[in-house]
A = this chain, B = another copy of it.
Amino acid sequence: MSEVTGDRLKSFIERVERLENEKKAISDDIKDIYLEAKGQGFSAKIIKAIVKLRKVSKEKRQEEQELMELYCSAIGLDI
């Protein structure tokens, strides 16, 4: 591998590492928000569930719910 090639490779690696650091910082910020919410009496767990809920479409959620109910009725589990 030529020196130039090595430099380019190094450049790629460092760019990735820089972005991963930024990503990590944002993750930490998100954690802080959950802590803040918790400090004001909100349940972090529920907030996370809502954020997730808003991501996936209503149709998809209903599909899963229906499959779940089908399985439960098949084994006689009352939910």
Please give the residue numbers on chain A whose beta carbons come within 8 Å of chain B beta carbons, in ascending order: 1, 5-6, 8-10, 12-13, 15-17, 19-20, 22-23, 26-27, 29-30, 33-34, 36-37, 40, 42-43, 45-47, 49-51, 53-54, 58, 60-61, 64, 67-68, 70-77, 79
Contacts and interface: CB of A to CB of B under 8 A. Distances in A.
| Count of identical protomers in the assembly | 4
A43 B12 CA distance: 11
Q: Which DSSP category, helix, strand, loop or mixed, fits chain A's interface? A: helix
Contact of A1 (B13, B27, B70): B70
Given A6-B74, A19-B33, A50-B68, 18 more contacts: A1-B71, A1-B74, A9-B42, A9-B74, A9-B75, A10-B74, A12-B33, A13-B51, A15-B33, A17-B54, A20-B51, A23-B23, A43-B67, A45-B74, A46-B64, A46-B67, A46-B70, A46-B71
